[in-house]
Amino acid sequence: MDEYENLTYEVKDNTAIIGINRPKAMNALNKGVRDDLRAAIDRIEASDDVGAVIITGAGDKAFVAGADISEFVGLTPLGTQDLCADLHSLLDKIELFSKPVIAAVNGLAFGGGCELLLACHLRICSDKALFGLPELGLGVIPGGGGTQRLPRVIGKGRALEVMLTGKNVDAQEAYRIGLVNKVVPGDKLMEESQGMAKMILKKSPAAVRMTLQAVNEGMMTDQVTALRLEKKLVGITFSTEDCKEGINSFLEKRKPSFTGR
């Protein structure tokens, strides 16, 4: 296991498992965590041995309890915008990452923690997890993409209710409104998350990458433009070795052996 200053990092069965490791601060997202996460994602991008990513929190209390409020003290308006820009760039990097990122939410996920999991492609949570965007109670608004990603995930009305009331959302409610894909007992969280990663890793890496691109970029534009993008990406996948292998293995009634090319 390799360790960053603020993260734990290990690769297991072609899946990188990143643990945000500031348990005394409830894994709050300070600059050190943001820098380490950015470095870890860049490292995974360059690795042919990693096909999926799981992000979780150290300990059993918090995934990420929020941004580090101590960084807010004395911020000027320009300084605040710089802080938001830094967080935006990190979460954009995760959302647009070419390999699937699964959030394994093991506890509290408030503020920046909720915004982090919203940037992940898939979300599995413990039955003890708790979610929320409580920023309005501090006299500010969510600044890590929450005002934009949450409505896209759960719908405008529900998102506004979460933000305007500052209410906490428990695990079952999070599943009901589509904030998470699955709720499991806490002791099964990593098993389920790794199981989902293994299912994805059986698919063509090239097709997984193209699917992430089609969905992410398509949601940023109108449907006509998005369908043009889909058509283009379908054409690209048909030129890959993975496509040829997938078709041949189907016709030959055997399991495919994908290479990502």
pLDDT score, position 66: 87
The catalytic residues are 115, 135
The string of DSSP letters for 176-211 reads: HTTS-SEEE-GGGHHHHHHHHHHHHHTS-HHHHHHH
List domains and CATH numbers for the chain. 2-201 (3.90.226.10), 205-251 (1.10.12.10)
pLDDT score, position 155: 97
Phi and psi at residue 137, in whole multiples of 5°? -70, -15
**Stronger pLDDT, 77 or 56, i.e. the higher one:** 56
Please state, in angstroms and rounded to a whole number, the distance separating the CA atoms of residues 211 and 121. 11
Q: What tokens does 187 get?
A: 């002791």
The model's pTM = 0.94
CA-CA-CA-CA torsion sign (214, 220, 221, 224): positive
Q: What is the mean pLDDT of residues 81-105?
A: 96
pLDDT in tens, 179-238: 999 999 999 999 999 999 999 999 999 999 999 999 999 999 999 999 999 999 999 999
